[in-house]
Structure 1
């Protein structure tokens, strides 16, 4: 039996164009108590990150239409508001570890995703670090 352990202030942005996988990830993460937002590609993800309180983590597919994972990551690291948000690459591409490393991303998962491995990484990034305070205007 799984128990929800994550406080509700931990948000995760899932950047994935495969609707079935995106929905499955959302169900898995929400069952653990995380708040989940979705983006179909890197462009939509960049728009979703233009908020005062960023997510604790980004789950990033590499191969997507319009703006792919490489283009997203290049834009993310150039933006001081987004650069510090940790990313886990989730890809079915070969050599996913090398591809993640080339983007400066130490954490990656090969598709099909192992739910336990995913949750272990998510907890490491979202629960073991303090959330940043929301910007007050």
Structure 2
């Protein structure tokens, strides 16, 4: 488990990343118990935020006995659980569909749909772990 942690030099960026990181941890933990909330994407986001804001929190999260395996499996190239892939892609497309409905600008819709397609392809391309 030798992953790079490079903290941002800007305090405003660091505090913003810490806030998003902790919010993601909370949502990820809730996702363990609530079937419609994805755990893995939120924990990966938290790890990415902590990797740029706090080495201490990053090491805590990645080394956590319950939460760490979700992240380490991905970082070590073992993949993402099928449940995580399904929820991440499903919720992303639901939010993109709602956003496209609410935003009438064709260029914004094209941008959102392009991003959703690319993110979906990236997630689908990752190795799949059995459900946890």
TM-score of the pair, normalised by structure 2: 0.31
Structure (1 or 2) with the greater helix fraction: 2
TM-score of the pair, normalised by structure 1: 0.30
Structure (1 or 2) with the greater strand fraction: 1
Bigger radius of gyration: 2
